[in-house]
Structure 1
Amino acid sequence: MKMFHLPSLSTVMLYTLCLTFLVLLLVKTRREASGTLPLKQLMKPQSSPVTSWYSLGVVYPSNYTFHLNEPNKCLERTPFLVLLVITEPKDVAKRHAIRQTWGNENLVPGISILRLFLTGVHPIFGSPVQKHLEEESALYRDIIQQDFIDTYYNLTLKTLMGMEWISKFCPSATYVMKADSDIFLNVDYLMSQLLQPHLPPKKNYMTGYVKLNVVSEHDKGNKWYVPKEVYPNDTYPPYCAGPGYVLSGDLVKKILQVAQTMKVIHIEDAFMGLCLQELGIRATDSRWGLFNIHKIEYEKCTFSELVVVHHYGPEELLKIWPDLRAQKKTCHS
């Protein structure tokens, strides 16, 4: 049997630097070929990306094809929890750190966890980045990719891709968590406080940091602009903030089905709220402080009793993880 050895963090960082150098080299080549185009202009769309996105009247699906897929992951087991982690094609170091920390599928003894990274196609350097992504996929078998362009404005499509994958290839999953790649996640506490494997599974359930009365932006210059003809109301219905939220397996298929009847907005978490509203389901409030959309400085006893903290990169994650998992220091209420 061929054995694979996990690369060290330094190897991954070197790999990332090499990939960045390759991208910059290709930019230089393209600039020289064009004669005048600077890097900013090469990367800048010719028109407002938000306006262009809505001019497409995007709905899901739009005949997207899986470039990378793992259709057999759930054939021999039924995961209790599927982690759908949002990443970009170039996020090698982030994926590597997550695999070693909160994305470790063997983290909770006796509980079946499945980790998948969701990504699209690099918007500029698709071919060279794709080659490295395919090599990573062949090694870890945990990357799902469809052929839409990977940009912020396609984030909703990326999340819906994950839900499509669940519906097609893992429909019996008990719970699903959508997670950004720049969070700290306490899977143990998530299990013990919210999912509670010893109890019957919840139905029509979504929880996280529930946002209320968020204003919908109708100014074209705003990052969160949504045309009034797409969403005319002044505020969005309640929704779970995007860095990390949990939903029951039965709700995934329902959201995917109702999403196909609606115009998709690029504000992914707000769109999930619109789907819940259409389904007549309300997000479930969790205890205050379990899901943090802002960064909190690490302290073991604090982090041991929360689920999500936003804005933790791979270096910080790998630094705090050994201390969090160490048994010698205990926390008492």
Structure 2
Amino acid sequence: MRRQLKLTVLLGSTFMGLLVLLVDQEQDSCIPSMDPWPLSQKAPTEDPPGLTSRKFEWQARTPHPLDLKYPYPYPFLINHPDKCESPGGAPFLLMLVMTRPQDVGIRQAIRQTWGNETLVPGVVIRRLFVLGLPQPLFAQELRALLEDEDREHGDLLQVGFLDTYHNLTLKVLTGLEWMAQYCPTAHYVLKVDTDVFLNPSYLVQQVLRPNGPLRPNFITGYIYRNPVPMRRPGHKWHMPPELYSQNKYPDYCAGPGYVMSGSLALRILRVAQGFKALYLEDVFVGFCLKQLGLKPTPAPPNTFLVVKRKYDHCAFHKLVLVHHFQPQELLQIWPDFLTANITC
């Protein structure tokens, strides 16, 4: 059964990756390049939130590929407003997993591994996969797949903007909007990508500590200190001076995964409404922290890894997160990771 699932994940990811590559080329050729507008001149927001998803597929294109429409009334097209309502009370940890519409197999691998909501006994964990709209060329086919997937698992949160790398900030902010509206009493919120290994038990017990006091100003992960903006055009993380003119970014937690207190998540969301959003979501969260007069809290040393590390049973039990893990690898190592080892 596990071998069949691995094959399904591999074939599905490869096929959809080819489709996305073709569509990304098509999109790049039809997005004009313009100077971004200042916050005071953002695009009008009088469109009613009930617009069809088809209209949003085209209107969500911004005039500049690095310029984001935010604040903006993006609708929740697939939603679970009662996700946080449970007999166990408010969730201790809300997982907001950033994913793409076509990553059906990847989401299933995560559900069977670190995304399992029952991994930490006695602690209420809730998981949502946050995704945008697929490219119009594949919208109809993917919409049917997503509806079937959500009908079975009830854990998708689809928002009405195109799902692109440059819209990742919109994913994070609209995920926090959902939290503010439907899950405001969550103790902690984890933003996490799909290409990681995550150890929820270590995160909860050793970093967040359910029996300890709540920390209203808490955010942690792998911290970049005094980082310098990339000014090279064409680079994945290129930051034009007209979008961010300062010579250094504020300290921030790396995007593959960071966790913050629920109260701080709400304050970051409020601050974000008043500034032009940057397309580098982790940098923008760090910018919002600076406006609040805060800095990230250091995690236990070497527990959030942004570089790949070869799996080791004992070592991984003392880690929170390792970047650059693919679903096939997760499925392969997870049965061993779950076994106890008294020699560690």
- If the TM-score is normalised by the length of the shorter chain, which range does it land in? 0.7 to 0.9
Q: Select which of 48, 67, 73 maps to 2:83.
A: 73
C-alpha separation in 1, matches of 2:19 and 2:166: 26
Q: Which moved more, 1:251-260 or 1:213-222?
A: 213-222
Q: Residue by residue, what CA displacement relative to the aligned partner does 1:58-92 show, whole Å, maximum 9, x if unpaired?
A: 24231101111110112233100011111101111
The one-letter amino acid paired with 1:120 is: G
* CA gap 1:238/1:26 in 2 versus in 1, 3 angstroms: closer
> Displaced runs of 4+ in structure 1, greater than 6 A?
22-27, 48-52
The residue number in structure 2 matching 1:34 is: none
C-alpha separation in 1, matches of 2:205 and 2:319: 11
Give 3-state SS (helix, strand or coil) of 2:100's partner: coil
Shift of 1:277: 0.5
The residue number in structure 1 matching 2:64 is: 55
The residue number in structure 2 matching 1:308 is: 321
What are the equivalent positions in structure 2 for 1:1-333 lying under 5 Å apart? 10=4, 13-14=7-8, 17=11, 41-47=25-31, 55=64, 57-76=67-86, 77-123=89-135, 124-327=137-340, 329-332=341-344
Q: Percent identity?
A: 43
* TM-score, normalising length: structure 2: 0.84
Shift of 1:44: 3.4
C-alpha separation in 2, matches of 1:25 and 1:282: 40
The one-letter amino acid paired with 2:311 is: Y
Shift of 1:23: 9.4
C-alpha separation in 2, matches of 1:288 and 1:22: 37
For the 8 Å contact 2:220–2:297, the answer to whether it is kept is yes
For the 8 Å contact 2:94–2:188, the answer to whether it is kept is yes
For the 8 Å contact 1:64–1:148, the answer to whether it is kept is yes
C-alpha separation in 1, matches of 2:173 and 2:288: 11
The one-letter amino acid paired with 1:239 is: Y
* CA gap 1:116/1:248 in 2 versus in 1, 3 angstroms: same
* TM-score, normalising length: structure 1: 0.87
The residue number in structure 1 matching 2:57 is: none
Structure 1, unmatched stretches of 5+, are 1-6, 28-37
Shift of 1:218: 3.6
Q: Residue by residue, what CA displacement relative to the aligned partner does 1:248-284 show, whole Å, maximum 9, x if unpaired?
A: 0001111111111111111111011001011111111
User: Could you say what the CA RMSD is over the residues aligned between the two structures, in angstroms?
Assistant: 2.7
For the 8 Å contact 2:225–2:251, the answer to whether it is kept is yes
Q: Which moved more, 1:70-79 or 1:9-18?
A: 9-18
For the 8 Å contact 1:12–1:96, the answer to whether it is kept is no
Structure 2, unmatched stretches of 5+, are 37-61
C-alpha separation in 2, matches of 1:177 and 1:25: 30
Q: Residue by residue, what CA displacement relative to the aligned partner does 1:20-73 show, whole Å, maximum 9, x if unpaired?
A: 76997999xxxxxxxxxx877535333477978573852423110111111011
* CA gap 1:111/1:22 in 2 versus in 1, 3 angstroms: closer
Shift of 1:318: 1.0
* CA gap 1:100/1:213 in 2 versus in 1, 3 angstroms: same
For the 8 Å contact 1:50–1:223, the answer to whether it is kept is no
C-alpha separation in 2, matches of 1:290 and 1:23: 30
C-alpha separation in 2, matches of 1:247 and 1:173: 10
The one-letter amino acid paired with 1:55 is: H
For the 8 Å contact 1:9–1:93, the answer to whether it is kept is no
Shift of 1:330: 2.3
Shift of 1:324: 1.1
The one-letter amino acid paired with 2:64 is: S
C-alpha separation in 2, matches of 1:54 and 1:331: 58
